[in-house]
Amino acid sequence: MYSNLWLIPFFPLIGSIINGLFGKKIKNEAVIGGIATGLMFLSFLVAAQNFFKLLGDKEKVHELVIASWMSVGNFQLNWELLLDPLSAVMIMVVTGVGTLIHLYSIGYMHGDESFYRFFSYLNLFAFAMLMLVLGGNALVMFIGWEGVGLCSYLLIGYYYEKKSASTAANKAFIVNRVGDFGFLCGLFVLFWALAEKGVWTLNFVEIAESGHLLESGGLLITVVTLCFFLGATGKSAQIPLFTWLPDAMEGPTPVSALIHAATMVTAGVYMIGRMNGLFAMAPATMMTIAIVGGLTAFFAATIGLAQNDIKRVLAYSTVSQLGYMFLAMGVGAFSAGIFHLMTHAFFKACLFLGSGSVIHGLHHAYHHAHLHDDPQDMRNMGGIRKKMPITFITFLVSTIAISGIPFFSGFFSKDEILWWSFGSTRGHCLLWVLGAAAAGMTAFYMFRLVFMTFFGEQKTDARAKDHIPESPFTITIPLMVLGFLALIGGYIGVPKILGGANRFHAFLAPVFEHAQHANEIHAHGSHATEYTLMAISVAIAIIGIFTAWVMYVKNPELPGKFVARFAGAHRVIFNKWYIDELYDFVFVNPCKKIGTFLWRGVDVKIVDGVVNGCAWVVKGIGSGLRYTQSGYLYNYAMIMVVGVVLIVGFFVF
Amino acid sequence: MENLVQEAIQNVNLQAIMPSLVLCVFGMAILMVSVFSKRGSTTHIAWLSIAALVVTGFVTLIGWNNPQAGFAGSVLLDNFATFFSMICIIAAGLTILMSDDYLRREGYPVSEYYPLILFTTAGAMWMASGTDLMTIFLGLEVLSVSLYVLAGFFRNQTRSNEAGLKYFFLGAFSTGFLLYGVALLYGVTGTTKVDGIAAYLMANPEAAMNTMFIAGGSLLLVGFLFKVAAAPFHMWTPDVYQGAPTPITAFMSAGPKAAAFAALMRVTIIGLDGLQSELTSLFWILAVLTMTIGNFIALTQKDLKRMLAYSSISHAGYVMVGLVAWNEIGLSAILFYMLVYTFMNMGAFAVLVLIGKKGEDNLTLDGVAGLGYKKPILGIVLSIFLFSLMGLPPTAGFTAKFYIFAGAIEAGYIWLAVLGVLNSAVSLYYYLRVMVQMYFKDPEEDFAWVSINGPVTISIVVSAVGVLYLGIFPHTLMSLAKLAGF
């Protein structure tokens, strides 16, 4: 039935191998980009075919075993893929947005000297990400999990000659290792705990079936899920491990859009969704997730208020939106979280690609005028809407969507999350307050970005400002498609209260409903409350937009006064609450000191001494034994005879 | 007398020896073809031999799950024999693929070389399928005599002559032990059949204390231990491996060694089952001795062929760990290991064949300096083989060792597994040293003479694919190996 599922990750893998091995010889950008994008598109077609097949299928869970991996005792591990509504949504997002971003990259990376390397990495990323979402057991998922981490590292450090890029790549990798450690610990404990009950498995379907063997709300399940959650905070940039994501913007912009906004960073949310049965059984973990998600949404939004680098604003916005998704997962609104994951993929990819289009245009203009201004600094922009109309319109649509203005995609998903965080049996009104406040700030900083970039006077250097071109069609087509999706993508999940059928929720229900019923998770409250909350959050968003308009269009001198007035507060959020400095002080520097001690004191003196001593002894034995090999036949024969005598003697005595 | 002849004729079952029969007929036909061929042109002979092996392979595979006994119970073509025969066929095929260009380079394009390899393989197949000590001996002799000639094939090279001669003398010496052992066993039990000996031992448990029986059994074992190069009967290996033509060295380390293990397993597991506790303690000691001696001396070697010779001794030690375990996992792991070892070791030798110059004086540690930069693909492939020999994942060397040690642990020999793993750690040093030379030393040569267009490349690719495939998907082969156990 679904036997061609393996083709979905296979196509990008082939693309990565072809471009990786032969890209240098092919040289032709059109061919390299065509191969990568074409294969990604094929993968999308197969994904779409499977998606629609699943849509019409009564049976919603399908496993495809590709090969046996290992079998030890009772434990059987396969290379297997799992298609259910959850992974079906994910493969559509990954291959769909992935294809568009591949197409975009052809234009964006034009002229780069290692064009082929970029596409090889990008394809490899798509392969790893698809393994992650399609993996039928935790180990296949882990391979994808590590694979996307590797590709993220390679692509953040793509401009490896730049010191800041390679440092950012290292930071991302190391911070993610902390999270991966949590993931692995969770995996080990879960495996051990289930094995204790006689179930030897890592298969997701079997884990879901035997989750009830563990004590609901018990210590064991709490530890397991907390470990997994630690893994999720690393990959999805949540408190406390969010610091790498803003630095990851050192990578090329399509990478930021694909990996650090639309797909990889949502892996943590996906993973919680995949194991929702376990998480639902651990109320303490759920509460932790909700609080961490809410706080991340709030704090990242505050930092976003004061940044001047266009990509950094979007980076903090991403962290903040991921916070929403975790908030949703934490209050048990699993399908709402995945819904927001999808709409966010549309509008945030569009925003990143739009910012890339702006950067690309400015870069071109500066290059033309032989200037070295920073093309990412919003203070050098302004008035670009006339120069780049398509970029502007798509960007505006996505901004409205992320701000939560009714009838754009972001509104439906964000509103569902806010409603659940208030009304869910696992929710709390304070969580709603965090979310609503973050929504207001989101509207503010996003429109601040739009106003600073596209409206007002052109602040670009006079020599360059007339040379900003609209981007080529490979860039504008993805923008238009994504902008369109950002506009209408929410209509598959219109809530019942607004007269919709919430088909998205119904589609995902087979994955989540069981855990929600079994653990009594549901949202309750009157329609009046729901309408009121909705009205408040829309009002907050409009206030945010209005404030931004007042400050950055009507009275452009206002922000300066504002900063002067609240210099202390501004400094704190401008410097990202000094979190990086705090981590340097608490973790990085002590680790370095301990490391230096272990190196100079323990490693060089003790460990090396022991190792070299052993090596010396072993080598000595080796050279000694070598002399038995005299080369003379009679010696050899003699040793044989001795051997025979010893063996016979061994048996006789 | 008449009756006996009658019975013998009835008992003839040609299907039981069909694979080796086909191979021998092919071998003799190819000898005839070479008589009518132009001197010095051997390429078509090589390809004919490959064809012979392919046909033999198919004939052998017919025997899978279709055991055939024949010749009054002297031959049994069961899954076990089929599995080992396939290993020998694969080894012979890889050898022939790497030989043609090599023989021309070294100046010995002589066509007898190929039929000799086929006869060796036929002998190996008899050893694997023999259930009578005389059949096994016959196979051993056919195999050995052909190998003596092959080891000394470069008759104008001192080193090759030395190899052939040493192998012959010491081989003859060990055959003497073996035959004497057979005679003593016959004297006690009145039979040379493996299951006959087992039945005798079952009926007369006190035979385990009979000096003549024990001496016979020990001498028999010595004959096989010599062939698998277990310490202290390993002394011939370095000299012979170093001097013999490189493809033959590769072949000896895989095919004939697998056949010797097959015979050793059949004789001990089936025939001497009653002596299990004594035999396992003996093999325990020999396994540790063998891997330790092999690994420790390999540390000091500078010549790559000689280093691989010691490495092959140590691998025989690992394989014997499976014999100590004497359980399903351990014994089927031996089958698995021998096939994996065929791929990884012959792959490594094939790379050496490729990068050697005439006379092969450059096959030293210094000789491969910078290879990884000058010939990147070759460097990567050799690294894969070395990683596999070390036993690191995701290569098949890892899974093979894993199964072997798992068998030992299951049987309760935890310390043996620990010693085995420690030995693997020691072996990292000399394998990694090759890679250090390849990647961390500046190239002294440009390796311009290395051409990867010949059939050697096929054997390298096949080996590399085998090593990686069995490393990632070991399960299928392992379940086949389990089916091939006793």
Structure tokens at B331: 């014994």
State what percent of residues in chain B have pLDDT above 90.
73
B472, burial (CB in 10 Å: exposed 0-12, middle 13-18, buried 19+): middle
Taking contacts as CB-CB distances below 8 angstroms, the residues of chain A near B218 are 644, 647-648, 650-651
Return the C-alpha torsion angle A209, A215, A221, A222, nearest 10: 140
Which of A615, A636, A650 minimises the CB distance to B170? A636
A402 contacts A349 by C-beta, under 8 angstroms? no
Q: Splitting chain A (653 residues) into consecutive groups of 10 residues, what average pLDDT does each group show?
A: 88 92 85 92 94 88 86 83 92 93 90 88 94 91 91 90 88 89 91 87 87 84 92 89 87 88 90 91 92 93 88 92 93 91 92 91 84 81 84 93 90 90 87 92 92 83 78 89 90 81 86 85 84 91 91 82 81 80 83 84 81 82 79 87 88 77
SS3 state of residue B383: helix
Interchain pair A625, B297: CB under 8 A: yes
Q: Is the pLDDT of residue B144 over 70?
A: yes
Which residue in B76, B118, B44, B438 sits closest to B266, CA to CA? B76
Q: Is the pLDDT of residue B285 over 80?
A: yes
The whole-number pLDDT of residue B8 equals 66
Structure tokens at A446: 């996003």
Interchain pair A625, B296: CB under 8 A: yes
Bond prior to B232 in cis (omega within 30° of 0): yes
| CA nearest to B426 within chain A | A618
| CA nearest to B209 within chain A | A652
Distance CA A338, CA A510 (A): 14
CA B407 centroid distance within chain: 21
B171 contacts B144 by C-beta, under 8 angstroms? yes
Q: What is the DSSP code string of B388-420?
A: HHHT-TTSHHHHHHHHHHHHHHHTT-HHHHHHH
Which residue in A336, A642, A315, A585 sits closest to A446, CA to CA? A315
Count CA within 13 A, CB hemisphere, residue A24. 2
Backbone angles phi, psi at A233, to 5 degrees: -65, -35
Bond prior to B245 in cis (omega within 30° of 0): no
A5 contacts A50 by C-beta, under 8 angstroms? yes
Say how many CB pairs under 8 Å bridge A and B: 87
Which residue in A354, A379, A371 sits closest to A486, CA to CA? A354
| CA nearest to A643 within chain B | B232
Q: Does A640 touch chain B (CB under 8 A)?
A: yes
Taking contacts as CB-CB distances below 8 angstroms, the residues of chain B near A639 are 232, 235
A62, burial (CB in 10 Å: exposed 0-12, middle 13-18, buried 19+): buried
Angle (deg, nearest 10), helices B414-440 and B276-298: 20
Sign of the Cα torsion A371, A363, A315, A140 reads negative
Looking at CA atoms only, how far is residue B275 from chain A in angstroms?
10
The whole-number pLDDT of residue B1 equals 56
Q: Does B469 touch chain A (CB under 8 A)?
A: no
Distance CA A329, CA A416 (A): 12
The whole-number pLDDT of residue B420 equals 93
CB atoms within 10 A of CB A582: 14
Looking at CA atoms only, how far is residue A221 from chain B in angstroms?
31
Return the C-alpha torsion angle B373, B377, B382, B385, nearest 10: 140
Sign of the Cα torsion A337, A340, A342, A348 reads negative
Interchain pair B170, A644: CB under 8 A: no
Backbone angles phi, psi at B208, to 5 degrees: -60, -20
pLDDT grade for B61, boundaries at 50, 70 and 90: very high
The whole-number pLDDT of residue B27 equals 95
Angle (deg, nearest 10), helices B414-440 and B376-390: 160
- Helices and strands in chain A, H and E counts: 27, 2
Residues in a beta bridge with B68: B77
Angle (deg, nearest 10), helices A310-330 and A429-454: 160
Distance CA A43, CA A340 (A): 23
| CA nearest to A79 within chain B | B473
Structure tokens at A27: 């040289």
The whole-number pLDDT of residue A39 equals 94
Backbone angles phi, psi at B384, to 5 degrees: -60, -45
Interchain pair B426, A623: CB under 8 A: no
Which of A618, A637, A643 minimises the CB distance to B170? A637
Which residue in A438, A440, A418, A432 sits closest to A301, CA to CA? A438
Distance CA B382, CA B385 (A): 5
The whole-number pLDDT of residue A500 equals 75
Return the C-alpha torsion angle A297, A299, A301, A303, nearest 10: -150
A538 contacts A405 by C-beta, under 8 angstroms? yes
Which of A618, A644, A650 minimises the CB distance to B282? A650
Return residues 200-229 of B near A (CB < 8 Å): 211, 214-215, 217-219, 221-222, 226
With residues binned 3-state (H G I as helix, E B as strand, rest as coil), the percentages for chain B, rounded to 5, are 80, 0, 20
Residues in a beta bridge with A523: A424
Out of B120-124, B270-274, B287-291, which region has the weakest mean confidence (pLDDT)? B270-274
Helix (H) or strand (E) holding A12: helix A7-26
pLDDT (tens digit per residue) in B341-380: 999 999 999 999 999 988 888 899 999 998 988 888 999 9
Q: Is the pLDDT of residue B107 over 70?
A: yes
- What ipTM score was computed for the predicted complex, to two decimals? 0.86
What's the Cα-to-Cα distance from A538 to each of A418, A441, B275, B429, rounded to whole Å? 11, 12, 86, 68
Angle (deg, nearest 10), helices A389-403 and A334-368: 150
